[in-house]
Every structure is written in C-alpha cells, then in structure tokens.
Amino acid sequence: MKNEIADLIARFLPLSDVERKTIASSIPIKSFEKGSILLREGQISRESYFNIEGLVRKYYVVDGEERTTEFYREEEAISSLQSYNLKIPANHYLECVEDCRLAVLTYEMEQELFKKVDGFESLCRVSIEEELGAQQEKLARFMTSTPEERYLNLMKHQPALLQRVPQYYLASYLGVKPESLSRIRKRLSQKN
C-alpha cells in the first residue's frame, strides 16, 4: 500500500526504498473525528501533525472567550512548536473542525528520522523557516488592516474557508464579533 506521507515527502526530497519504508513505518496516519482536541492549553505537545484531509483550528481562550488564530488545511503542518520542542505547556488548543486524517509524528521519532533519512532534517528546517516567514507576513497584514480588508483578503486567498468554517470561528479569526462580520458581509454584498 502506498503511504501518503512518504509520497508527499518524496515530492521535495529524493527517497530510497528503504527511506520510504522507514517513513511509512514511523509516521502513522490516523483519523480524528470532528471536535477532537489534539492539544489542550496546559498540556505539553508530544506530537506534531501533517494534514492529509480535513481542517484543524488553533485557538486561545482569553477572558473565557475563544480566539481563533489559525486554520490548518490539507497539506499543511500542524504543531505547537514551543511546546513540542521545549517541552513546555501549550498556551492554546488545537481542534479538528472537520473529520480529519492526519500524519502523526512524535518528537522522538522525528529525531530518529533525522538520523535515518538523508535530508529530512534540512527539509524540516526549510519548511519551518518558510512557515515563520509566512506567519510574520500574516501578523503584519492583520495588524495593519481593517476587519473588512481582512475579510476581503480571506475571500481572495482562502475562499474555501468561508464554506468550511462556522461564522463564529471566522469572526474570531478576523478579530471581530459575529455581528460585526454579518455587517461586513452585508455591506460588501450591497456594493456588488
């Protein structure tokens, strides 16, 4: 049987048959139901994930209110880097918004793969650097744009999220209350 995660890694890194088998046996793909919590605030992250299918959100609880900061779609890595690498409690949650199939990697197995698969550590480092750059740009855009501009940007760059995510998650992600998001949508529909 083909292994989706080995196939994906092979798109970026040439793999021998032995390395493919090592990856396939080291990174299981597991199913999670909608609503499953992958990580809770206060837990130490022992796993990182790669999204094969479904949608995961990252959120914080601030003054009793959930604040969504990220949605992880197919072919995106999902982790709580500080908690995972430094073994400190996470300050956020990771939740499956849809039924998900995720590749699951433990820290210990990741260290083993660095030794057994040539180039795997480099691939991970480059991936993290790219993600860090994207997160910096995303934060700058968020800080320098209005809620309406954020919504328009979401419509332009991630339109599928508008269909996949409940409005109250979207509102939180955009930094507004659900009522404000409704007003933004109404205002935009009247312009067209």
Bridge partner residues of 32 (DSSP): 100
50-83 exposure pattern, b = at least 16 Cβ within 10 A, e = fewer: bbbebbbbbbeeeeeeeebbebbeeeebbbbeeb
- Chain centroid, CA 111 distance in Å: 21
Average pLDDT over residues 86-113: 96
Dihedral sign computed on CA atoms, order 111, 138, 71, 12: negative
Q: Give all domains of the chain, ordered by start, each with its CATH number.
A: 4-114 (2.60.120.10)
Q: Say which amino acid occupies 81.
A: L
What are the tens digits of pLDDT across the range 101-142?
999 999 999 999 999 998 888 888 888 898 889 899 989 999
Q: 64 φ, ψ to 5°?
A: 80, 5
Residue 192 scores a pLDDT above 70: no
| Per-residue pLDDT band at 2 (split at 50, 70, 90) | low
| pLDDT value of residue 1 | 40
Helix, strand, coil % in the chain, rounded to nearest 5: 50, 25, 25
For 102-148, give the DSSP string.
Answer: EEEEEHHHHHHHHHHSTTHHHHHHHHHHHHHHHHHHHHHHHHHS-HH
DSSP codes, 157-187: H-HHHHHHS-HHHHHHHHTS-HHHHHHHHHH
Angle, to 10 degrees, between the axis of helix 178-191 and the axis of helix 167-174?
90
- A 10 A CB-CB count for 127 gives 13
- pTM of the full predicted structure? 0.89
Q: What is the pLDDT of residues 26-65, one digit of tens each?
A: 999 999 999 999 999 999 999 999 999 999 999 999 999 9
